Structures are given as C-alpha cells and as structure tokens.
Amino acid sequence: NDQTELKTTVSTKKLSLRMGCCSSCFKGSGAKSKATEMTSTNGSGGMGSGGKSMKISRKMSAPTIDIQDNTTVSGTGLALAGVVIEQDAAYWEWHIELSEGASEDVMVGLATRKDKSFYAALEQSEGDESPQTTGTSLMRKLSLKDKDTVGVAAQHSDLPMVQFLVNGEPLHEEAINRFRGQVYPSIHLPPNEHSLKATLVLDENQFREMSPHARFGPVIVARGII
C-alpha cells in the first residue's frame, strides 16, 4: 500500500510540473505577441524596435539627398522618414548643423508618400516651385542656424494640427490647421554652401526640448500582431 501511495504521489507531481510548463509557455507566447503590436522609439540614432521604418526612407527621399547613420541628411531636396504619423498626438525633433555663423532657410513639417515617379515629374517641371509641385504644402520655411533644434508636434483630433518650435519657442504664426491622409515627418534642404545637415530625432531620451503639451509623445510605430 505504501508503495502504491508513493507512485501515485510522484505521478501527480510530474503531471503538475508538465501543466505548469505548458501554462508558462502560453503566457510567454502571449506576452511576445502583445509586444509586437506597437513599438516606440528607443536606442541611439532614433531607431526603434520597429526597424527600417524608424529612419530616413531612401525610397521616399529625393535622389539628391545623402543619408548618413540612417537619420542624418545632407544635400538638397526632400527627405521623408519611413514612419506614418498614426497616433493621435506625436512630437519629434530635427537637430541642425551648419557652418559657424551661417544660416539657411530650411523647410520642415510633414509630407505625403513619395516615390521615384514623383521625383521624375518634379525634374520635368523645373521652374515650378509651388508647394503642390514640390511636395512641401504641409511644411514651413524656417531660418535656422547651427545647433538649432526644430520641434514638430502633430495631432489628428485638435487644431492646429501641426505646430512648430525652434529651440523650445513656439512659432504660432507658422502653425498648420489641417491635413488629411497618411503623412510622414519630412524636411526640405535648400542648395547651400554651409555644410548643412539635419538629424531626425525620434527617441525622447535624445530630445533637447519639451513638446508643447504632455499629450504629444514620441512617434510610435503601429504593427500587426505576428
């Protein structure tokens, strides 16, 4: 009888251990799935766990734009980040580098999706500098100097929908009231001789300034559950 009771106890413990392992496996799998639903920026260079989308898009940027370290641009023309602004309120920065004492008029803001055909058409329409043609209708021209920080705050549910700040100071007269469709953080660099560079910063740990309101968080990449 004692031997029978001992065997029963051991069998029960083994079954409990197996069930516990299965339960922990399911829990781990569920947590992993949830983690893939939405990722935000972290780490250096503005790169988040979203990977490719958290950097300047080569495909959507002008062929005359040079990209260094995924998030720094130089050259001339339009450059777009590869992340759509989908959250209700988002904030990001551009950090400007210029030769000492120089200043440049740089366009900053949002742009709709661009591709090779857009830039081919733009080249054919040389001389037409209208915002609709150049893709800058949701951008504003700002006079910037070395080490300036341009903050952009975009929101979908309140006005103005796009706000601009330079070194933390809001530029109310440059605000954009409305936009529609999918939009991407963007910048337009003019032809220049002052070593102009601009770095896109999406990581809140690397922000130099505060957003205009607490509801404006760092850019988040929405992703489907794997």
According to DSSP, the residues that pair with 106 across neighbouring strands are: 142
pLDDT attached to residue 127: 77
Which is more confidently placed, 145 or 129? 145
* Average pLDDT for the chain: 82
- CA within 13 Å, CB half, 189: 28
Spell out the residues 6+ positions from residue 71 whose beta carbon is closer than 8 angstroms to its own: 45, 46, 47, 55, 56, 199, 200, 201, 202
Question: Are 164 and 63 spatial neighbours (Cβ–Cβ below 8 Å)?
Answer: no
According to DSSP, the residues that pair with 103 across neighbouring strands are: 145
Share of the chain above pLDDT 70, in %: 75
User: Band of the pLDDT at 53, cuts 50, 70, 90?
Assistant: low
According to DSSP, the residues that pair with 92 across neighbouring strands are: 152
The 3-state DSSP class for residue 225 equals coil
Question: Are 200 and 152 spatial neighbours (Cβ–Cβ below 8 Å)?
Answer: no
pLDDT attached to residue 225: 32
207-223 tens-digit pLDDT: 999 999 999 999 998 75
- Side chain identity, residue 43: G
Question: Are 85 and 154 spatial neighbours (Cβ–Cβ below 8 Å)?
Answer: yes
pTM higher than 0.75 for the full model? yes
Number of H helices, E strands in the chain: 3, 14
pLDDT attached to residue 6: 41
Nearest-CA neighbor of 60 among 161, 162, 188? 188
- Greatest extent of the chain over all pairs of C-alpha atoms, in Å: 99
